[in-house]
A = this chain, B = another copy of it.
Amino acid sequence: MSRVSYSEGMSLRIALLGLLTASGPASGYDLAKTFETSVAHVWQAGHSQIYPELAKMAADGLVAVEAEGPRGRKIYTITAEGSQELRRWMLDHSPSATYRSEESLQAFLMPLLDPREAIELLQRMKVHYETKLAQMEELRRNHPAMRRKGEGWGHFGVYALDLGIRRVRATLEWAVDSIADIERRL
């Protein structure tokens, strides 16, 4: 079992390899669109990042230009080497522990506010997460069988969506309980 260490910044490559595996050959333009509607909840990238990355990946033999379409359209396919790379990352790579979020920073600094202000802030957060949760749950409702044959998946990986919903729900509960906690001490 070959121990390979992956640098943090492999993830864009991996996401692209994943999409190419799931939806078959596609152009950079296609991939950018797919990014917006599927992986976006989990990883973001614009075309200005995707085009050069695909070029580098082609140079590294992970993808290949299968054909060239009408207006300079280049269709990329994943190579055997690319598939191998993707599999290795999925199986061997432990996600880096570095975590960063503005919400958590606000949570951390919460004691600096006086109780009334903290409650106000938490209430805004609560509303935000409620709408977010509703959106995600609707997304799931609209795609009960998200793995379509041929297509690979609908709008969002089932597992990732489930994970996302659980996390948002946990955050929402945190906000609600924190409000109650602060009000009790008021």
Contact = CB atoms under 8 A, between A and B. Distances in A.
B170 A105 contact: no
A111 B159 contact: yes
Query: Chain A: interface secondary structure?
Result: helix
Given A157-B111, A159-B111, A167-B167, A104 B174 contact: no
Interface residues of A, number: 59
A124 interface: yes
B111 A103 contact: no
Interface string A94-115: 1110111111111111111100
Contact of A166 (B106, B156, B174): B174
A100 B147 contact: no
A164 interface: yes
Instruction: Determine how many copies of this chain the complex contains.
Output: 2
B94 A124 contact: yes
A121 interface: yes
A183 to B, nearest CB: 14
A64 to B, nearest CB: 19
B41 A99 contact: yes
Contacts of A15: 105, 109
Contacts of A157: 107-111
CB-CB nearest 3 A-B residue pairs? A95-B102, A108-B157, A108-B160
